[in-house]
Chains A and B, each alone.
Chain A
Amino acid sequence: MLEIRGLHARVGEKEILKGIDLVVRPGEVHAIMGPNGSGKSTLSQVLAGRETFEVTAGHVLYQGKDLLALAPEDRALAGIFLAFQYPVEIPGVGNMHFLRTALNALKRQRGEEELDAMDFLTLIKEKMKLVEMDQSFMNRSVNEGFSGGEKKRNEILQMAVLDPKLAILDETDSGLDIDALRIVASGVNALRRPERAMLVITHYQRLLEHIVPDFVHVIAGGRIVKSGDRALALELEQKGYAWVDAQAQAAPPARAPVKGARA
């Protein structure tokens, strides 16, 4: 489903991703862990198409196609969903209107009939149960005045409605208390499907107690330095990120850019 090869990316002059390799198949849940500044969030944003980051080398195939050639909206329409670490506020734009616009864009793309307000309301009511949100959220502006936990729940709600093929959760657990974490995680678990892949990016092991991954990768210094299964996350928690940093030092230098996008 997703194949990342030798991915390098930078913001300004600063290189952040220095050769990421990763393969994700349908139904798999991959956790990506790493210390702050290791490039976890950059990877998620590069996959979603944020133009702040410039891809300097490597390629990404999504369902056999060149993902990097697509605009962000086209990636979304192709079934990629990014749950933001910091969901953005859009004053004056109703949450319901926003989500319906997004869903209908997707339906147009698929050649399906768009949902009117009534049908959408029926759908959203159902999906809201998943993240224990009440309807008052729908009448508020997108993320405006939402608490940290409400924002993250809203992300998962969007994911439930947009029904992606590949979901990338960028530090969805950050800033959540125990209860909110439980709600968000159970929402995510309910959305696990044999055909849906997930990339769960997190700093802490605790999220993975709720969302159990098939694979765990550790990023340090812009590269994946260690991959394993669930046990790796536990080991990481015991030994701390210093252990990973040491591994990163020992790892061979990044491969030279394969495809020089820019001289």
Chain B
Amino acid sequence: MSTSNPAFEQLTRKEYEAGFVTQVESEQIPRGLSEDVIRLISSKKEEPEFMTQWRLRAYRHWLTMKEPTWQSVKYSKIDYQDMIYYSAPKKRPTLNSLDEVDPEILRTYEKLGIPLDEQKRLANVAVDAVFDSVSVATTFKEKLGAMGVIFCSFSEAVKNHPDLVKKYLGSVVPHTDNYFAALNAAVFSDGSFCFVPRGVRCPMELSTYFRINAAETGQFERTLIVAEEDSYVSYLEGCTAPMRDKNQLHAAVVELVALDRAQIKYSTVQNWYPGDREGRGGIYNFVTKRGLCAGFRSRISWTQVETGSAITWKYPSCILKGDESVGEFYSVAVTNNRQQADTGTKMIHLGKDTRSTIISKGISAGRGQNTYRGLVKVQKTAQRARNYTQCDSLLIGSQCGAHTVPYIEVKNSTARVEHEASTSKIGEDQLFYCRSRGISEEDAVSMIVNGFCRKVFKELPMEFAVEAQKLLTVSLEGSVG
């Protein structure tokens, strides 16, 4: 591959576009974590007693746990007492009216390309906007409500639909699951809640847009989606944060439940601030995402495009409990400069004739490190379970790394598990071929990488696929040379 190229050098310096800070007065609680802090968060959110107790149980369990060290990422020790666990814009909006949201915040989302004003929304997408620790606005609530679809912030769900929350909260990711999930359960401040009743096909894309604004705060949100029998919902989350030279922790939990013949499509375009070229700053994205295919022929698809964060640690998984249920995982993970990603999925086959598909595309550039870590587990009960896994890595330059760690455990002899993996470099011959047709080097890289990711992008809702392609191009700018 050619060595230094001035055009690329220049592009490398391109700044993270979502890196601005919004000047808004916010209410924060003191640094540190204790039972008192948890009670304080719970009381600020005016939660019922069962929630407070649930949080405390999680906190006490967390105290007994150790931070995991098995993942292939390196970072300096996180001081959990030096972090702020709750930050909210001071002007508390009445959650039903956009008019009362601080105009600065509306402008923030506008600037990020997510207008919250329903009149301005072009696409058929309902948005829940989470700013630091709280949800500031949810659009199209009434229209959805008419069909029985509940789409609101988690806080509202706790108030207005406590029975549903009680029934499903922690049912897929219990607070004992892992270190970060326990921490989240103790301190989570908001997130999105979605309930699609029996037989309803949700007429629009639902999406949550997470924005970290305040400094030195952690963001801990929780998303819970329940799709009843014969329902369908497609959900998308997007994430950005300002550029800061200190690392910030984002430890979210997402739980999905699909009942008989229900389908949930969950897409993520993650563009948290990745840190600068030397690896200063950036978000630690330590997330637990899991879906339970509880019902017969239920189906859960995870699609993720991970371009941001200093460190990404997440394994969106499916528990295929219902017979003939289907789990899918489509992933593009990009690491450039000093970014590190350890990501993949777990497919746990319990029911008969369950099927899962894993398509993972890792792209490493600069000094990025990219690990695919996956588990396919077929239990005794899972007669004729099938899995197909394809893991491809693309290397750009010679200082990056790609690693594949697939675990396969099969306890049923009728199961069929296939695994394919490949690692390749962007070929000098491919680049030259494009350039000899008049296509510039940077357009050629973008074209080749997008081609590499095509199988994943086609799983994204149309308007977000375009967004993801652009994001990918921006993330990789300056990576050749």
Contact = CB atoms under 8 A, between A and B. Distances in A.
Nearest to B438: A76
Contacts of B453: 92
Contacts of A88: 427, 429-430, 432-433
A52 B438 contact: no
B436 A90 contact: no
Contacts of A102: 434, 437-439
Given A52-B428, A90-B430, A72 B435 contact: yes
Given A52-B428, A101-B447, A72 B452 contact: no
A50 B452 contact: no
B390 to A, nearest CB: 12
Interface in B413-468: 427-430, 432-441, 443, 447-448, 450-455
A75 B440 CA distance: 11
A93 B448 contact: yes
B210 to A, nearest CB: 30
B2 interface: yes
Contacts of A158: 437
Contacts of B441: 71, 73
A174 interface: no
A84 B447 CA distance: 20
A51 interface: yes
B449 to A, nearest CB: 9
Nearest to B1: A51
A76 B435 CA distance: 8
A72 B430 CA distance: 13
A49 interface: yes
A227 interface: no
B401 to A, nearest CB: 22
Contacts of A205: none
A108 to B, nearest CB: 9
Interface string A67-97: 0000111011100011010011011110001
B7 to A, nearest CB: 9
Interface in A99-158: 99, 101-102, 105-106, 109, 141, 158
Contact of A90 (B2, B448, B455): B448
Contacts of B454: 92-93
A97 B403 CA distance: 32
Contacts of A243: none
Contacts of A72: 432, 435-436
- From DSSP, what is the main secondary structure of chain B's interface residues? helix
Contacts of A91: 451-452
B460 to A, nearest CB: 15
Contact of B450 (A48, A92, A99): A92
A169 interface: no
Contact of B436 (A49, A92, A98, A106): A49
Contacts of B455: 92
A72 B428 CA distance: 13
A76 B452 CA distance: 25
B297 to A, nearest CB: 31
A81 B433 CA distance: 11
Interface in A157-196: 158, 162
Contacts of B439: 73, 101-102, 105
Given A73-B441, A88-B427, A93 B450 contact: yes
Interface in B94-153: none
B440 A73 contact: yes
B448 A77 contact: no
A109 B438 CA distance: 10
Contact of B435 (A52, A71, A106, A162): A71
A162 B447 CA distance: 19
Given A51-B2, A101-B447, A90 B438 contact: no
Interface string B325-347: 00000000000000000000000
B385 to A, nearest CB: 29
B396 to A, nearest CB: 15
A90 B433 contact: yes
Contacts of B430: 88, 90
Nearest to B443: A101
Nearest to B448: A90
B231 to A, nearest CB: 33
Contacts of A97: 447
Nearest to A99: B437
B447 A48 contact: no
A87 B447 contact: no
B374 to A, nearest CB: 22
A79 to B, nearest CB: 10
A76 B428 CA distance: 17
Contacts of B432: 48-51, 72, 88
Contacts of A162: 437-438
A52 B1 CA distance: 8
B435 A90 contact: no
Interface centre among B432, B438, B440, by most A CB within 10 Å? B438
Contacts of A49: 432, 435-436
In order of increasing CB-CB distance, the 4 nearest A-B pairs are: A92-B451, A93-B451, A76-B438, A92-B454
26 contacts: A48-B436, A49-B432, A49-B435, A50-B432, A51-B428, A73-B438, A73-B440, A73-B441, A76-B435, A82-B436, A88-B432, A90-B447, A90-B451, A91-B452, A92-B450, A92-B455, A97-B447, A98-B434, A98-B437, A101-B439, A102-B438, A102-B439, A105-B443, A141-B451, A158-B437, A162-B437
